[in-house]
Structure 1
Amino acid sequence: SQKAVENQIQSLGSNLLTISPGSQSSGGVRGAIGGSTTLTYEDAKAIMSSPEVTAVKNVSPELSRRSQVTAGRNNTNTQIVGVAPVYSQVRKINVASGLFISQRDLDSLAKVAVLGPQVVTDLFGAGANPIGQNIRVNSQAVRVIGVTEAKGGSGFQNQDDVIYMPLTTAQKLLFGVDYLSSISLEANNENVMIDAQNQVGYLLLARHKLTDPSQADFMIFSQNDILNTASQVTGTFTALLSGIAAISLLVGGIGIMNIMLVTVTERTREIGLRKALGAKKKTIILSF
């Protein structure tokens, strides 16, 4: 429902910003969010280390891909998210058992994973303890080191149906790419959101050698922006479904009317005979 989507987005915090690759528009057509490869790990490092970016306290680079994952004879198709250790803080992810991704995992390209509870159920069964077990992601053997707490899903993604891995491992060993799907930013507080957007925006423009902000090859969204978009989408679907329901009722009504008309037409002689024999109008109507 729309309320569930709103609650899911708001639970991430009012001081969260998301940078997605891709331009605002291209030839009058809006670019696809996440469909470009213009963000890199180096961009994320630059944001964190820049003395000009004072309104941001945490930077979380991310690479997200769907992949087939197996454990013994069980398999599932799920979201693989390559992350840095700070991701759990920025995205409010808690570990129910085991450990989350560490800096050591990131530096050593460790083949380790933290599973969402839905993935645990799909691969090992409900209530199982997968820590220390191996799974295979893109034919690579990966050791499970943790399980996250249940967060539930939204209209966009089930956050329990996710596998978290070190970003470097996902980039270099699993998918062979050097770009990011997104960068999450945690602003100092919700009062400096505009400052954070401007500071990061100017830094990325300079890094990407762009002088015109309208030609930016990235987009920065706040939670309010995402919430408004989600509300518009759900509103559009609600209106569309209402229209379909109205058309269905109209078509159904016309169909019933035609059936009744045919029925009456076929029994015209019978109706005339019954009237001639003295049947009342009410009695004739009730026979239909």
Structure 2
Amino acid sequence: MTLKDTFKICVQSLTRNKMRSFLTSLGIIIGMASVIIMMAVGEGSQKEIEKQIETMGTNFLQIMPQHTKGPDATLNPALLTKTDLQKIKDEAVYVTEVSGVVQGSFTVRADSNSGAASVYGVEENYGFIKNREIGYGSFFDKEDCDAFRCVAVIGTDTANFLFGSAENAPGKTFQLGSNIFTVKGVLKPLGTSGGRSQDELIWIPLSTFQARISNAELSNISVSVRSKELLAKAEKDITAILREAHGLTEKQKDNFSIMNSADILAMASSTAKTLTTLLAAIAAVSLVVGGIGIMNIMLVSVTERIREIGILMSIGAAKGDVLSQFLSEAAVLSFAGGIAGIIFSLLACFMLGKNGVAVSINPFVIFIAALISVLEGIFFGFYPAWKASSLRPIEALRFE
């Protein structure tokens, strides 16, 4: 049989029972759509996380206390002090800006609105270090910090919650503990990272936090390095400064940790990539189920068409013709399901994007998905096709 004849018979066989063909393809449609959607959401989330981390800048270091076990834990407790902060400011060679950070969760009130908020005590250069820009108003300055003033810079979500809008927030006041703070500025929105909003925050001067809210030790020290090429040197330099400040001997481990923006980006990317792979692997299970469905229906089709197969062989059709006939039916069935699944996934991704979900469709993934749909049909359709081609013409003609 020619390729044209094979395709013609294939289409006739599949359209003979449209509902059965559709239900058989449904497993492939669902599986293909699931894989593409999961991959798109996973890659979209990964790019969104990378984008948000990059907004911090590529020359950022964060120093945090790190608890140790054994005798070192008592002799050298994990603490970052004002002395450490000042020592880094005075002695670190490769840094441009340094800010101590204290944080805590407190209840804030403005008029009839109240709720818990993450409050950070930071210095006047913290916005520069974190690469955050002011949307409305201005950042508090060194004079505000030196005078222990009750001023604040807040995120857009906090501004909307407390005052109804970010635009009108500068100049308004809210209560934090027993103190009344005045909003000096509102940060430009950053969005959500790792399922957590980056705009639900309040920044107040570090000096004010420790004098009026809580005299807590530093949660971390944030550092801006001259350039990303100097990150490694800056990290090594600050490690030496802090080990000396903490009186650590050569045998003692660091009771602090330093994370740079490159490490944070690599960690977030690796986590997102792993999650994407896991989601795609789970979704791929439905593709296997769909392939088994095709095999099952093709076996039923072979049983129903035994006399037809016998007639084809008796008029000269070779085993290869019968094999290619049933293989083409399985491949077309699977490919049609794959194309329908791709179309459905594109529509679903479009709707998800409209609703604020980060999605990223890779054309290469679409191409591979279409190829897999054909290969899956051939793989799962081979046994039924082989079974059909192995029938003996005389026995097939006698079959009732």
TM-score interval, smaller chain: 0.7 to 0.9
1:190-237 Cα shifts (integer Å, max 9, x gaps) = 222111111110010010111237611111111111112212332343
Unaligned runs of 5+ in 1: 254-280, 283-288
Aligned partner (choices 166, 174, 181) of residue 213 of structure 2? 174
The match for 1:278 is none
Q: CA deviation at 1:127?
A: 4.9
Cα distance in 2, alignment partners of residues 127 and 161 from structure 1: 12
Is residue 118 of structure 1 aligned with residue 131 of structure 2?
no
Aligned to 2:81: 40
Deviation, 1:175, is 2.2
Percent sequence identity over matched residues? 32
Distance 1:213 1:154, change over 3 A: farther
**Counterpart for residue 225 of structure 1:** 263
Q: What is aligned with 1:184?
A: 222
Following superposition of structure 1 onto structure 2, how do residues 177-256 of structure 1 map, counting pairs within 5 Å?
Answer: 177=216, 179-212=217-250, 215-241=253-279
What's 1:54 paired with? 93
Contact 2:82 2:218 in 1 (8 A): yes
Give, in whole Å, the separation in 2 of the partners of 1:19 and 1:86. 16
Structure 2 counterpart SS, 1:215: coil
C-alpha distance in structure 1 between counterparts of 2:193 and 2:214, whole Å? 26
Q: 1:102 maps to which residue?
A: 141
Query: Offset of 1:143 from its aligned partner?
Result: 1.4
State the TM-score, normalizing by the size of structure 2: 0.56
Secondary structure of 2:238's counterpart equals helix
- Conserved 8 A contact 1:113-1:164: yes
Report how many aligned residue pairs link the two structures: 247
Cα–Cα, structure 1 residues 15 and 144, in superposed 2: closer, same or farther, change >3 Å? Answer: same
The one-letter amino acid paired with 2:246 is H
State the match for 1:276 in structure 2: none
- The aligned amino acid for 1:162 is L
* Aligned position for 2:181: 142
Matched-pair contact (CA < 8 Å) for 2:56–2:132: no
**What is residue 271 of structure 1 aligned with on the other side?**
none
CA contact (8 A) 2:137 2:186 kept: yes
SS at match of 1:119: helix
Task: Tell whether the 8 Å contact from 2:166 to 2:186 is kept in structure 1 after alignment.
Answer: no
Higher strand share: 1
- Contact between 1:82 and 1:165, CA under 8 Å: does it hold in 2? yes
Partner of 2:65: 21
**Structure 2 CA distance for partners of 1:56 and 1:128, relative to 1, 3 Å:** closer
Distance 1:213 1:243, change over 3 A: farther
**Counterparts of 1:57 and 1:156 in 2: how far apart (Å)?**
31
Structure 1 contact 115–164 (Cα < 8 Å) conserved: yes
The structure with the greater share of residues assigned to helix is: 2
